Chain A
Amino acid sequence: MAAPAARGSTPYQRWARATLLARTPETGTARTLVLRAPGWPGHLPGQHIDIRLTAEDGYRAARSYSLAAPGRGEHLEVGVQPVDDGEVSPYLAEDLPVGADVEVRGPLGGWFVWRPERATAPLLLLAGGSGVVPLMAMLRGHRTSGARVPARLVYSVRDPAQLWYGSELAAFAPPVSVRLLHTRAAPPGDPRPPGRIASTDLPDADGPFAPGVPDVFVCGPTGFVEYAADLLLLAGHPAERIRTERFG
Chain B
Amino acid sequence: MTDAYLDGNALAGPLAPILAVDPTTAWRHCPDCGVRGPLAGLRVYGPEPGLTARCPGCEAIALRITTEGPFTWLSLGGPDGAFRFRTG
Is B17's beta carbon under 8 Å from chain A? yes
Residues of A within 8 A of B40 (CB): 109, 111-112, 243-245
**Interface centre among B9, B48, B87, by most A CB within 10 Å?**
B9
Residues of B within 8 A of A8 (CB): 20-21
Inter-subunit contact A244/B1 (CB<8 Å): no
Write the chain A residue with the least CB distance to B41. Answer: A244
**Interface centre among B7, B17, B48, by most A CB within 10 Å?**
B7
Would you call the interface of chain A mostly helix, strand, loop, or mixed? strand
Binary contact readout B37-51 vs A (1 if CB under 8 angstroms, 0 otherwise): 011110000011000
Is A101's beta carbon under 8 Å from chain B? no
Q: Which of A13, A62, A109 contacts B24 (CB 8 A)?
A: A109
Inter-subunit contact B13/A108 (CB<8 Å): yes
| Chain A residues with a Cβ closer than 8 Å to the other chain, count | 25
Given A108-B12, A111-B38, A111-B40, check contact A247 B20 (CB 8 Å): no
Inter-subunit contact A110/B25 (CB<8 Å): yes
Inter-subunit contact B5/A48 (CB<8 Å): no
Interface residues of B (CB under 8 A from A): 1, 4-10, 12-14, 16-17, 20-22, 24-25, 38-41, 47-48, 87
Interface residues of A (CB under 8 A from B): 7-8, 13-14, 48-50, 61-64, 105-106, 108-112, 222, 243-248
